[in-house]
A = this chain, B = another copy of it.
Amino acid sequence: MRLLEDKIREHGNILSDKVLKVDSFLNHQVDTELALQIGQQFYRIFRHQPITKVLTIEASGIQFAMATAMAFNVPFVYAKKKKAVTLQESVYTAAVHSFTKQETYQVCVSQAYLGPEDRVLIVDDFLATGAALIGLVDIVKEAGAALVGVGCVIEKCFQEGRELLEQKGVDVHSLAKISSMAPGSIQFVPGDDEIMLGKESDDDAK
């Protein structure tokens, strides 16, 4: 997604060969218009399949889940990172290790909001180690729902997340795929989604 890559080049802050900060426009301050376009891009990619729910994980997936759910006109669900006092009923859970924060936490989704009747699209801001996304995939499986695919805003292709997801048979699409980076330089894998979608972008633009 060209617009997104341009924004990353211009406003992303590369702290090391593994850490990219995009909190001026994606996950602390949010460029609302860009978030909406990201949701519409996920819609273009996955629109040929019926989707009943978008699933993400708090907090930084929420704006993209909302934009995607708007495009599909379905509700979204965000997994919570630990069991809150007011989340009392039965929940699906998965353990996730955060390499950024160096801690393991539980993600949970109320069983009331995912079930065998659902066809789920998972979205999140980053695909790197894949840990959080694999937790969500496990929750979809536990719910007996059908997983349509995973949409990520930014993928760090030099980490193992995609491979781990594809080993589970998951259809993964990312809008900006970083092949390598270092302070002052960043390379993207040419976006096959964009090439694939370019021809029909006019009549399919929502």
Q: Could you say which of A19, A24, A28, A84 has the most chain B C-beta atoms within 10 Å of its C-beta?
A: A28
Is B63 a contact of A31 with CB atoms below 8 Å? no
Q: List the B side residues contacting A75 at CB < 8 Å.
A: 25, 29-32
Most chain B Cβ neighbours within 10 Å, of A53, A63, A67: A63
Is A192 close to B, CB under 8 A? no
A23 within 8 A of partner (CB): yes
Q: A109 to chain B: which residues have CB within 8 Å?
A: 28
Digit string of A7-35 for contact with B (CB within 8 Å is 1, else 0)? 00000000100010101110011111101
Number of interface residues of A (CB under 8 A): 42
User: Cβ of A152 < 8 Å from any Cβ of B?
Assistant: no
Contact of A101 among B15, B84, B101 (CB under 8 A): B84
Interface membership of A112, Cβ < 8 A: yes
Decide: A30 and B78 in contact? CB cutoff 8 A: yes
Q: Does B100 lie within 8 Å of A86, measured CB to CB?
A: yes
A70 contacts B21, CB within 8 Å? no
User: What's the Cα separation between A33 and B75 when bound, in Å?
Assistant: 8
* Closest Cβ–Cβ distance, residue A12 to chain B (whole Å): 12
B66 contacts A112, CB within 8 Å?
no
Q: Report 28 cross-chain contacts, Cβ distance below 8 Å, ordered by A residue.
A: A15-B88, A21-B86, A23-B86, A23-B110, A24-B112, A25-B75, A28-B80, A28-B87, A28-B109, A29-B53, A29-B75, A29-B112, A30-B66, A30-B69, A30-B75, A30-B77, A32-B66, A32-B69, A32-B70, A32-B75, A36-B70, A59-B59, A59-B62, A62-B62, A63-B63, A63-B66, A66-B67, A85-B101
